[in-house]
Structures are given as C-alpha cells and as structure tokens.
Amino acid sequence: MALPYQVVSAGRLEQAYAAELKRLRAEKAVERLWAKDTTLWPTDESHAESIENRLGWIGLPDRMRQEAAEIEVFTAEVEDAGLRDIVLVGTGESTLAAEVFTKTFPAPEGRRLFLLDSTDPDTIRTLSRELELERTLFLVASKSGKAIETISQFLYFLDLAKTAGIGPPGPHFAGITDEGTFLSRLGPPYGFRRMFLEAQDIGGRYSALSYFGLVPAALWGVSLEPVLDRSIEMREACGPDAKGPNPAGELAALLATAEVQGHDRLVLLATPSLVPLSHWIEQLVAGSLGKERRGIVPVAGEVPLTLPAYEEGCIVAVLRQQIEDAAAITDAARELNARGAPVVDIKLASPHDLGAEFFRWEAAAALAAAMLGVNPFDEPDEQESRERTLRMLDELGKKGALPSATVRLSEAGISLYAEGRTRQEISTLRLADALQTFFELRRKEGYLALLAFIEWNVENYQMLGRIRARLTEALGIPVLLECGPRYLHSLGQLLKAGPPTGMYLIITAAHQEDVAVPGAPYSFGQLLMAQALGDLESLQRRDKLVLRLHLQDGAAKGLAHLVPAVEQAAVKVRARG
C-alpha cells in the first residue's frame, strides 16, 4: 500500500530549501539519527546521556508490534466486564495522540470515550453527569506520573466511585505511565485493573505510537496491526537505506528553512477528521523547536481561511483524508502558494495512515531541530509555570486566598488586568478602547494567542472561534486559540522561549459552583485559576505583551459581552491599518 502522499512546494523559499536539503544530506543527518548519534544536536557531555535516553521512539513501532496482542487482550477484558464508557484522564502530550485516533476513526457501536484534560470545574461536573459509573473505565495517563491535573482528577473519580457504592473501585481504573513514577506505584494498592508501564527512553512528544496512543486507540476499536505496519513502512521510507525522496527529510528541510528565513509560523489547514492531528503536530513542533528565542509557531485547529494573514512569513501544511471534501483548504493553499507562500500537501488514504504520519512528523521534528541547533527532547522553560502554580497553591493553603492583582478596568461584568509594559501601552477608559490599543501593539511578523481557561463546550468554543476569526481578519496576523490548562503542556515551552513576536490574551471566568479535590486543600476552580495566574506571571516576567480578562458572571455571559467589545475594537484597528 502506498504511503501517505506528500508534495512540498517551497514557493519563495525554493532556493534556500534546496540548499537545506543538500546540507541535510551532506551532514548525513538521517544516518546519524538512525544510529542514535547524540552529536547530531548541540549538547555538552552532561546532557548527551539524556538525549540518548530519548531516542527509543525510533524502534517503537517494532516493540509495539510485539505488545499489540497484549493490548488487545486487555481491550477484550474491558469489554467482557461491561465497561462501555472510557474516560481518558490526562493532559497535553499524554492524551493528544489518543484524541487523534478517537476523532479520526469512526465510533464503535455502544462505546463512548471522553477525554478529560481540563481542571475546569464546569467541565468536570458536566462529564460526571454523563457517566454511568458502573459501566465506566477511567484510564489515567501521565508520562511523569505526577502531573497535578491528572492526580487530582484521579482522586476525584476514585471518590466519586466510592460514594456511588462501587466496590472495590480499582477494577474501574487502569493506568499508563513511565516505569518508576508515582502513578506506577498507585496501581497495586488501589487494585487497578491494569498498569501499562512505558520505557523511559521515549519523551512525551514522541510517544504517539507507545501505550499512550495505542491503548486508547484499541479501546476505541482501532486495529493496531495496520497502524503499526504503516508506521514501519514510513520509518523505512525515512531511513538511510530508502530509495527516492525522504519524506521526513523533505519536511525537516522545509521547517528549518522557514525558521531561518523568517517564515516561522506554520499554518495547519486540516479536513474535519484531521483537526486533532493538527493539534498533535502543534505540540510536537512547538515543543521540539521553540527554544532560545527561536522556533516555529504552529497555528492549529479550525483555522480561519483569512489568506492575507498567512501570505507573508508563514508556511502552510495541508492535512487531508482522501474520503473528505478538502476543496476549501486546498484552494486556499494553492492561492497562498501562488503568492509565494511555501506549502506542504499531505493526503492520507485511510485512518490507518496515522501510524505513518506520526512517525514522519516525529522524524522531521528531530531532524529540523538538528539543522537549527536545538535539542528537541528537552523543555527547559515549560516547567516554570507549573512551579509558579504550586507556589500559589501553597500560598492558598497558608493564607486562604490566591494572589490578587489590581483591576485596571471593569465593564459589563468583565475585569481587565494589565501589568508592566502592557499597562503602560494601553488605554483603560473603556473595554473596547483597551482591546483596541492592545491589538494595535501587534507585530506584522507576530501572532496573537487567545488562551482561555474556561469550559470548552460547543457554545463557548463557537464564541471564541468567532473572536478568533474576527481578529485574524482585522489584525492580519495568525491567531492561536488554545484551551487552558491543556496548552501549558503543548505550547508552554514555545510561548515562553520561542520567537519573541507573540502577544497573549488570557481569559478566565468565575464559577457558580466549584468542585472539591478530595484530600487536597484546594478545589478544581482554585487549581485552574492558579494555573492561569502562574502562566500569566511567567509571561509577564519575560516582558511579554499579555492582557488578562476575567469574566465575573461566568464564561457564557462573559463571552456574550466580550464578542461585541472585540468586534468594536477590531473595526477600529482595521480602519487604522
């Protein structure tokens, strides 16, 4: 069976792209990657071992081919036990590949899978009401085994099961984590149905074809054998012994060329079933390359087709499935390419091609990092927000309240907070004026990130999507739309240490009803707010342009007031150019 189709049209970067491809071959980058040569990336002797211990993903398709039968036995056991609802409890890189599988493959009859990667109390309460606990399996997934979101969610659902009289609750839980983690030690005392232990030589961003992606996929009814077969075929096509063009090498050369030439925003245009794949690519590219004030800024999700915003300084990736109508995104990409924008067109023949696609992008990200001179396997700046969150929760325990800040403006139930450079630059007369003066600070080569720590339901997402589309048109730059705290584990590294061209609008909201975390001195609402404030502090410390809006009357009412204020601001920004 043919591999997924890929064609690179480098546009105005054609000459530089050809030179980068030549350099990749001359430096034998592919051969060195397959040989696990740690000198491919810049590092001192003390970090060489850590890089070597992150290259297990290259041989992962073979190992998981041997583990597939074991996973399928577990899946049959779950089905025989009558557990028809699956709740995947995790966040960021530990769950993104699973989301791709479960949104791309059709739903199996009688089975539901819910992804919980939020600490928002409204989200948790809504999900709890949906479940039949007697028929539910909670799959707790965390690479580190200590993510505060995941452990808090586990404690909540364990308590929920006990309160419902399910005993013992252990058989309703299974786990996926690395060997030796805190989560791995929870399985035996709580009687987990199963604990899948992953080898420690695979980083989270490169774990799509590990237990983290494949166990949820199998529970969703995906046949693992053809997925792994496709990944092995792609690995052979990307390897040093392959004949013809190297798919990962071509993609890596395009990413590296684009970054060096100032085309450092990657616009991912996807057909509906592959939108989750765009989010997985987003975290891989952002986390692997976003370091030392450089990298690629991915623009994922349901990207507005506002072509002027992507014409300069961007590259475009088209992700399409053969069975889906891709006319709109392919027409947009063709027009952008005609204007000189570099485009890579990728087409999957079937959902099983996801195995090939995961491997292609992993190899490409690792090779592009080598060409740019950064370590793709570390995240030196991502941890800062988490540490600030923990300090805030510690302060909450001691003082009974989270840190407070000065409200600069309050209007229609929306409080505006601004510090540092942002406070000095914006108007605080009216909300629309504040937004207008903030948006006017954009850079032509930059981007705006909407970071919303609210319930990600259909209504809220639609209103945020409306804001995104309007701002993309008015500002003429790409606009990212991200859900907190999820983005902290996918874009956190890039937003802090990537290209210094972004501006950030953080949205938080009050909750009419909070949800307690059993045994913890904080609630889910307080945890969510601490995560938002922790990231806000991290961005402010780096002198970023960041504004926070707090929706005092809740997300739904607040967004209803925010939309017209944004539209007023957008009209004025566009009129002034």
Sheet holding 447-453, edge to edge: 409-411, 414-417, 545-551, 502-509, 447-453, 479-483
Within 10 angstroms of residue 82's Cβ, the number of other Cβ atoms is 8
What local confidence, expressed as pLDDT, does residue 2 receive? 81
CATH for 119:
3.40.50.10490
Residues 258, 210 share a domain: no
- Whether residue 27 lies inside any domain: the answer is yes
Q: Which of residues 372, 401, 436 is at a domain's end?
A: 372
- Whether residue 402 lies inside any domain: the answer is yes
- Whether residue 233 lies inside any domain: the answer is no
> What is the model's pTM?
0.97
Backbone angles phi, psi at 6, to 5 degrees: -145, 130
What local confidence, expressed as pLDDT, does residue 49 receive? 66
Checking phi first, is residue 2 left (phi over 0); if not, alpha (psi -120 to 50) or beta?
A: beta
Residues 404, 356 share a domain: no
Structurally, the chain folds into a number of domains equal to 3
Q: Is 303 helix (H, G, I), strand (E, B) or coil?
A: coil
* CB-based burial, 135-147: b 16+ in 10 Å, e otherwise: ebbbbbbbbebeb
- Whether residue 46 lies inside any domain: the answer is no
Residues 397, 313 share a domain: no
Q: Is 349 helix (H, G, I), strand (E, B) or coil?
A: coil
Residues 269, 182 share a domain: no
Structure-token pair, residue 144: 């580190």
- Whether residue 181 lies inside any domain: the answer is yes
Residues 524, 392 share a domain: yes
Residues 343, 460 share a domain: no
What local confidence, expressed as pLDDT, does residue 92 receive? 82
- Whether residue 526 lies inside any domain: the answer is yes
Query: Taking a C-beta distance cutoff of 8 angstroms, is the pair 426, 418 a contact?
Result: yes
Residues β-bridged to residue 141? 176
Q: Which of residues 340, 372, 404 is at a domain's end?
A: 372
What local confidence, expressed as pLDDT, does residue 167 receive? 85
Kindly report the three-state secondary structure assignment for every residue of 138-176. Answer: EEEEECCCCCHHHHHHHHHHHHHHHHCCCCCCHHHEEEE
Residues 20, 73 share a domain: no
* CB-based burial, 27-61: b 16+ in 10 Å, e otherwise: eebbebbbeebbebbebeeeeeeebeebbbbbebb
Checking phi first, is residue 65 left (phi over 0); if not, alpha (psi -120 to 50) or beta?
A: alpha
Query: Taking a C-beta distance cutoff of 8 angstroms, is the pair 431, 552 a contact?
Result: no
- Whether residue 43 lies inside any domain: the answer is no
| Cis peptide bond prior to 485, omega within 30° of 0 | yes
- Whether residue 47 lies inside any domain: the answer is no
Query: Taking a C-beta distance cutoff of 8 angstroms, is the pair 336, 311 a contact?
Result: yes
Q: Which of residues 227, 259, 275 is at a domain's end?
A: 227
Mean pLDDT, 10 residues at a time, the chain of 577 residues = 90 98 97 96 72 94 97 97 97 91 93 96 97 97 95 97 95 96 95 95 95 98 97 97 94 98 98 98 98 96 98 97 96 98 97 98 98 94 90 93 95 97 96 98 97 97 98 98 95 96 98 96 98 97 97 98 98 89
Q: Provide the domain limits for residue 341.
A: 5-32+243-372
Residues 280, 190 share a domain: no
Residues 254, 212 share a domain: no
Pairing verdict, β 414-417 and 545-551: antiparallel
Residues 560, 425 share a domain: yes
Residues 263, 337 share a domain: yes
Residues 262, 193 share a domain: no
